[in-house]
């Protein structure tokens, strides 16, 4: 398994509607911060998460968070 690519050095702050989402863990997706299938062959898989009510979230794009898919400020150390 290789190291994930850094897609961006700041989180994606989004308002999400209730539903199931797939967060890109490999950093290769062209649809950041969501998975587009670009992880094929990397040994990495997207992180599935549920949103139960409309809310604003900060999704990690540096792929170094200890709390995937949510930003924990790890990008500040890059």
| Boundaries of every domain in the chain | 1-56
State pLDDT tens for residues 12-21: 999 999 999 9
State pLDDT tens for residues 28-67: 999 999 999 999 999 999 999 999 999 999 999 999 999 9
Provide long-range contacts, Cβ within 8 A and 24+ apart, for 33-36.
33/7, 33/59, 33/60, 33/61, 33/69
When pLDDT is averaged across residues 4-25 and rounded to a whole number, the result is 98
What's the Rg (C-alpha) of the chain?
12
Predicted structure pTM score: 0.94
Helix runs in 4-78, H state only? none
The pLDDT value given to residue 1:
55
């Amino acid at each position: 398994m290789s190291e994930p690519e850094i897609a961006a050095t700041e989180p994606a702050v989004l308002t999400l509607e209730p539903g199931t989402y797939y967060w890109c863990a490999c950093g290769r997706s062209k649809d950041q911060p969501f998975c587009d299938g670009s992880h094929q062959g990397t040994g990495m898989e997207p992180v599935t998460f549920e949103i139960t009510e409309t809310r604003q979230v900060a999704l990690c794009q540096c792929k170094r968070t200890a709390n995937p898919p949510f930003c924990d400020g790890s990008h500040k150390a890059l």
